Structure 1
Amino acid sequence: MTPLSTPDLDERVDVGEHLAADRPWQTVVWDDPVNLMSYVTHVFREYFGYPKSQAHSLMLAVHTNGHAVVAEGAREQMELHTRAMHDYGLWATVRKAPE
């Protein structure tokens, strides 16, 4: 029977790097010259199930600020949301949530 050995530990590992990798991702919808504000509100209500006031608020952020974060979570889910926004004709991207 061979004796068990403990693995060598790399004490240089920065825990902050690992935590940063666990940051959530965001689906961002961008302003465009094509879609009506009422349509964007409709999409947010229909797809995300947001109440009218929240959907309207997000639409106004898109219109006045040029973009709005409409969802936050796991990367795969945000990619699905982004694809759905494209299917509705909206401009959307996925990005890592800021620290």
Structure 2
Amino acid sequence: MFRSSFFATGLFVLLTGTSFLFVDKMVLTHKVAVEEEPEPVREPEFRGFLGMTSLNEEQQEVLNPPDWAAFSLMSMGAVTMLYAAALPKKRS
């Protein structure tokens, strides 16, 4: 049970990281409600941690992952899959 769930989680994270290699930014299709008050000014980004999402002209959210996110997700997914393969088999 643990082996398969760790392997599936690692595979999902690995494939998400692989998709970030081919995508520069993703535009989400839902519309955000327009507010009366202007948005507060965000602080500058710190190495890409803040500001991964923003709004475009049509008030749609845009996900713009940093360059290092793809390789980080791929390595975490691969390590998780290797851990799942190294788990001892269940003995009855």
TM-score higher than 0.5 = no
TM-score (norm 1): 0.23
Higher relative contact order (CA 8 A, sep 6+): 2
Larger radius of gyration: 1
